[in-house]
Amino acid sequence: MTDETAAAESGATETRRETHSRAALAEDARALVEALERVHPDPYVGHGGRIKLHCRLEETIRNLPEETTTGDFYRRAAPLAAKVADGHTRLIAPDDNLAHDDRRLPISLRVVGTELYVDAVYDETRTDLLGSRLTHVEGRDVDALADRQAELRGVDNRYCALAFLCQSLEAPEMLRHLLDTQKSPSKPTVTFRTDEGTAETCTLTPIDSDASAVECLSTAVERPSGTGPRYRLLDGGRVALFVPGDLQGYREHCEVVASLGSEDTFDIVRDAHERTVGGETPDDLEAAISELPSMTETLTRLVREMDESRTETLLVDLRDNPGGNSVYADLLTYVLYGWDGIGRAKQAYEIPRRTDAHRRRYGDGKSLETRVDTAADNPADFDFGPYFAATDRNHDDRIATTREQLTQHVETFAKEATDGTHAGYYAPDRVVAVTSARTFSSGLAPALQLSRLGDDIVGVPSGQAPTLFGEPVREPLPNTGLELRVAGKYLCWHPDIEGDVLVPDCELTPERFESYGYAGDASLRLALDYVNDEEP
């Protein structure tokens, strides 16, 4: 453990053990709800109305002890944010990040159907657990734990709850919140079930958080490595595999951030540079952005190579992508289907709530002349310009609006749009978006957009709903210092889909997962079999 990690761990421990008076915690609880109502587009949507939200607030305050710790307050107050149930709004636990802990459980998990499978093991003495199903932790079954997870961190659907649960279960300190106990078990007792139906109960000893996996589920499809947008041609060029990568680290995302005038622009660019490029970030903002990997350049190279190889199938690998900026979905649609495809796909809409907090984080959004009925004209701060641009305009108008947005805010793409060399350059016979339960937020955008154009979705249903809230802003609570993240935008990615689950055209079920020998890339194999009309 490095000195920096040790300091972070010590700080997280100290923070969660700090004690506060009942009056101070009541002030924090009220500040939390005040921020929800001030920033969120619809803070009552999951609570069932304003009365129920405030009733829960008063119940929380009445049940506060005369004095308690930050960690205990977190467990009491987190449901006030989580019950908004939008997947983005949440109160951050004082020990939420694995970087604040030098220990982790020696397994990682994945969701298939509504089951949790061990997909990697970090302890060479427990490789027997690989591929088994987790059924209980400390005597509590997975369903109960998923319910508890949804109380602590808002979810869009059951897959979202299970995906977040996988993350929490890998961090020993988070168990105390899931189990609602004062202290996490030092060696949690867990129960697994094998494919033969045999159950085994054992204890897991946490290991160093920076340990590498000693064994993972097998894979057969070679995925391109790296953090930025990338691709690989497979089977002699017959198949292309595209991975969008870090959706807060590509160049075009940072160009959008810079163009909108966010106060956090340089911090965002520096963080992106550290993740995707490494080394020292240039002090000059434009220079730093220019060094980031470009989605436009990657996609134009991809379609040229697919054209040369006469590629038959494109797999868009969205598995485990947590999102970031969704402009890449438009760029992908552009190189495959041109502006006409964008016009057909862009019937979704967004309604930002341009509060002061949202403007500070994401800019004022006033640079587009096409925006009408802006926040300044609406007493609730709603900006309905994007909504009317999507719903009241015809095909050609939607193209013009999107083109204006992209060329004004995405400098790298503006150069491509000037001559249009790669507009609809090449689309293979089949395009398939591959999803997992951890496909989230903007990570799901291409699946939703491509599905409007008749393309297919294969894999585990995403934890993200077709209608969602995004663009969270950060609000610290005055006494505990806990960070509240509140969504500031309403998005309807796919107006034609009802419900909270985007159902794949071909789903990776536990039975299909088993038929692929519990392969780590079973969804990709299923996608290839699906386009070839083959049964797994």
Q: Comparing C-alpha atoms, which of 345, 518, 520 is closest to residue 445? A: 345
Query: What's the pLDDT at 533?
Result: 86
Cα distances (Å, whole numbers) of residue 275 to 98, 149, 249, 271 = 17, 29, 7, 6
239 shares a domain with 121: no
Query: What's the pLDDT at 98?
Result: 41
| Residue numbers of the domain that contains 404 | 230-345+395-463+505-531
Question: What's at 86, amino acid-wise?
Answer: D
Q: Under a CB-based contact definition with an 8 Å cutoff, are residues 518 and 525 in contact?
A: no
Mean pLDDT of 294-303: 98
Query: What's the pLDDT at 8?
Result: 42
The verdict on residue 338 lying in a domain is yes
Q: Is the dihedral of CA 61, 64, 70, 73 positive or negative?
A: negative
| Model confidence at 145: pLDDT above 70 | yes
22 shares a domain with 110: no
Least confident window among 221-235, 351-365, 457-471:
351-365
- Ramachandran class of 133: left when φ > 0, alpha when ψ lies in -120 to 50, beta otherwise: beta
Query: What residues are paired with 239 via a beta bridge?
Result: 234, 313
The verdict on residue 473 lying in a domain is no
Average pLDDT, the chain: 91
Q: Under a CB-based contact definition with an 8 Å cutoff, are residues 462 and 440 in contact?
A: yes
Percent of the chain with pLDDT over 70: 93
Query: What's the pLDDT at 369?
Result: 41
| Model confidence at 29: pLDDT above 90 | yes
- CATH number of the domain to which 125 belongs: 2.30.42.10
Q: pLDDT category, 14, cuts 50, 70, 90?
A: low
The verdict on residue 351 lying in a domain is no
DSSP 187: S
Query: What's the pLDDT at 400?
Result: 87
Determine the straight-line distance between the first and last CA of the chain, rounded to whole angstroms.
Answer: 44
167 shares a domain with 279: no
| Model confidence at 16: pLDDT above 80 | no
Q: pLDDT category, 96, cuts 50, 70, 90?
A: low
- CATH number of the domain to which 399 belongs: 3.90.226
The verdict on residue 431 lying in a domain is yes
User: Of 33, 65, 91, which one is at a domain's C-terminal end?
Assistant: 91
Least confident window among 14-18, 57-61, 325-329:
14-18
The owner of tokens 């998923």 is 146
Q: pLDDT category, 15, cuts 50, 70, 90?
A: low
Query: What's the pLDDT at 389?
Result: 74
The verdict on residue 149 lying in a domain is yes
117 shares a domain with 190: yes
Residue pLDDT, tens place only, 400-416: 888 988 998 999 999 99
User: Of 41, 59, 91, which one is at a domain's C-terminal end?
Assistant: 91
Alpha helix ranges (H) inside 410-479 = 411-419, 445-452
The verdict on residue 34 lying in a domain is yes
Percent of the chain with pLDDT over 90: 75
200 shares a domain with 137: yes
Query: What's the pLDDT at 2?
Result: 43
Query: What's the pLDDT at 371?
Result: 46
266 shares a domain with 247: yes
Strand 207-208 and strand 103-104: the pairing is antiparallel
450 shares a domain with 336: yes
The verdict on residue 116 lying in a domain is yes
Cα–Cα distance for residue pair 319/468, rounded to 1 Å: 19
| Model confidence at 136: pLDDT above 90 | yes
| Model confidence at 116: pLDDT above 60 | yes
432 shares a domain with 318: yes
Give the 3-state secondary structure of residue 420: coil
Which residues have C-beta within 8 Å of that of residue 410, sequence separation ≥ 6?
252, 255, 256, 259, 296, 327, 331
- The residue ranking higher by pLDDT, 364 or 161, is 161
Q: pLDDT category, 536, cuts 50, 70, 90?
A: low
519 shares a domain with 456: yes
| Model confidence at 313: pLDDT above 90 | yes
| Model confidence at 5: pLDDT above 80 | no
67 shares a domain with 124: no
247 shares a domain with 161: no
Mean pLDDT of 462-491: 94
Q: Quick one: CA torsion of 444, 445, 447, 448, rounded to 10 degrees?
A: 110
405 shares a domain with 271: yes
Q: How many CB atoms lie within 10 A of CB 308?
A: 11
b (16+ CB within 10 A) / e for 61-80: beebeeebbbbbbbbbbbbb
Cα–Cα distance for residue pair 288/35, rounded to 1 Å: 34
Query: What's the pLDDT at 374?
Result: 60
Domain count across the chain: 3
User: Of 44, 72, 91, which one is at a domain's C-terminal end?
Assistant: 91
b (16+ CB within 10 A) / e for 453-463: bebbbbbbbbb
Q: Comparing C-alpha atoms, which of 269, 325, 524 is closest to residue 443? A: 325
The owner of tokens 């395009």 is 431
Provide the whole-model pTM: 0.91
Query: What's the pLDDT at 329?
Result: 96
Residue pLDDT, tens place only, 343-364: 998 878 888 898 888 888 887 7
Query: What residues are paired with 470 via a beta bridge?
Result: 489
Query: What's the pLDDT at 151?
Result: 95
Which pair of tokens denotes residue 441?
Answer: 């937020």
Cα–Cα distance for residue pair 466/468, rounded to 1 Å: 6
Mean pLDDT of 138-153: 96
Query: What's the pLDDT at 377?
Result: 75
The verdict on residue 365 lying in a domain is no
Cα–Cα distance for residue pair 420/235, rounded to 1 Å: 30
